[in-house]
Structure 1
């Protein structure tokens, strides 16, 4: 049901349901409620909020307020990090998070954020680590071999959940592609009033968001919302031909086409917003089937194998992932 609601949000031809039991059902879905802030913001922006029952509006508005105050705190923390990076001449690109939410969803509270993801240059890693530790992010997670980021956390007064900063020097695991993150830096734009803080281009933001969704096997509504919202906002400025050419060169083509095929399969109305002519064969588990109990185990197994081991463009990359997975089990 939660995936079905996206059709009403983005399909201009669809009228919102008027049955109260429909909205009651949505509020009972944990995954839907977790992203109530985005639902509220999108309904409000499109002047559709008043077409929903008052009890539904009240619940998702509370989620929006929670998201706003949490994001406000995280944004202030991020500004402190960006300032110390600026003072130490560390080039940095914020990934996802509050910058992404404000630009593509239109409001600080519109997209819940729980941590801070930053892309830096590999040679700046040690300097960046020292900077975040100065700001109190002292709890360092055990590094993962061949991974592309490290994490630092600090406890917050009155909260059981610490705030985490992830320092990325790449966007994909080593030895699984020919991807070069330097290409993203080349097209990144400066952010006022900084000299060392940059923002990814729309194109590379979309590329990154698709890779992020693939890495989590599109197992949450938020990955669909991020990709769909970018298609909705950026539209014709997204160059799918370039995306496929770059993904072929980077050896990320299966990951990219798998992700976008799943999104377009679940949300066929996207073809009217921006057609995607590079879809793969449609054999993936639908989102609601992934979330629903009772789906046959072999279907989940096939989906897992396809995602975990067959999403790589070369036999060498597939073999590396199989060996890595076995070693971690």
Structure 2
């Protein structure tokens, strides 16, 4: 059958590739095989299905669901493609997680409070596994007054500003909401935020967000170290702070709306958060 546009939304409820994708993104797919007729799978446009999966950034979930279902009408070539992307994403997310931890420790060591937005920390928080979500960069949120010092330490860590603009007279605090930095060797991009949203509207202060923060430990990377024989306090050598669940829900909702909900991954994130962590 001819390949349809990835973003064609007309008659979406008759769109069998999108319908299949939505079914696989649900938490319970045990009934999937019963409701999906063999004729539908034979007529499936698997090329378009793959493009939809990639566009919506849900390759990890779809790959693991299809692998578990092991349906005979799912093409082996499709599974191999998804598997390769899944493995590449796992390595990428572990790389981003390690770099996020390095930068977080550096900034905290110099008295700069840091909250992780999205990325590996969100993957760990919502899915319990960094490999189950995709991310292209690292987003960090700090207080506006810490921006100059944070930028200094970003440069010390090997990052260069992507814009090269010089901030003067404090106008940047209201004209923008983040600055981007790139590590030329590691090819990692960092977005350093001093506000959650770009529109300049009302939002919680950093102090409020910090007071409601949630600790997210990186899988397999945290341990407790005694501070001294006479001091039974402990410190986390590897931990990252994220937004509290309620602030996280509002932030993800506003972020998705601002971008027109053109990726299903954002709705999956919100669904995972809403059913397990939000105090309504």
What TM-score do the two structures reach when normalised by structure 2?
0.71
SS at match of 1:153: strand
Q: Does 1:173 align with 2:173?
A: no
For 1:274-296, what per-residue CA distance to the aligned partner results, in whole angstroms no more than 9, with x for missing partners? xxxxxxxxxxxxxxxxxxxxxxx
Q: Secondary structure at the match of 2:175?
A: coil
Instruction: Name the counterpart of 2:49.
Output: 26
Matched-pair contact (CA < 8 Å) for 1:31–1:221? no
Structure 1 unmatched runs, 5+: 241-329
Specify which structure has the higher proportion of helix.
1
Asked if 1:6 corresponds to 2:22, the answer is: yes
Residue from 153, 172, 178 that aligns with 1:131: 153
Asked whether the equivalents of residues 159 and 181 of structure 2 are also in contact (C-alpha less than 8 Å), the reply is: yes
Cα gap change, 1:175/1:72 in structure 2, threshold over 3 Å: closer, same or farther? closer
Q: What corresponds to 2:69 in structure 1?
A: 49
In the alignment, the residues of structure 1 paired with residue 68 and residue 273 of structure 2 have an alpha-carbon distance, to the nearest angstrom, of: 20
Please list the CA deviations of residues 289-312 of structure 1 after superposition, one character each: whole Å capped at 9, or x if unmatched.
xxxxxxxxxxxxxxxxxxxxxxxx
| Cα distance in 2 for residues equivalent to 1:173 and 1:33 | 23
Tell me if 1:222 matches 2:265: yes
Deviation, structure 1 residue 97: 0.2
What secondary structure does 2:70 align onto?
helix
* Corresponding residue number in structure 2 for 1:37: 60
Whole-angstrom distance in 2 between the partners of 1:94 and 1:221: 21
Residues 1:15 and 2:32 are matched in the alignment = yes
Task: Show the counterpart of 1:238.
Answer: 278
Residue of structure 1 in register with 2:94 after alignment: 72
**Gaps in structure 2 of 5+ consecutive residues:** 1-14, 218-235
- Whether contact under 8 Å (1:31, 1:220) holds in the other structure is no
Across the aligned residues of Structure 1 and Structure 2, the Cα RMSD in angstroms comes to 2.9
Distance 2:180 2:128 in 1: 28
Higher strand share: 2
Q: For residues 93 and 27 of structure 2, what CA distance do their matches in structure 1 show?
A: 28
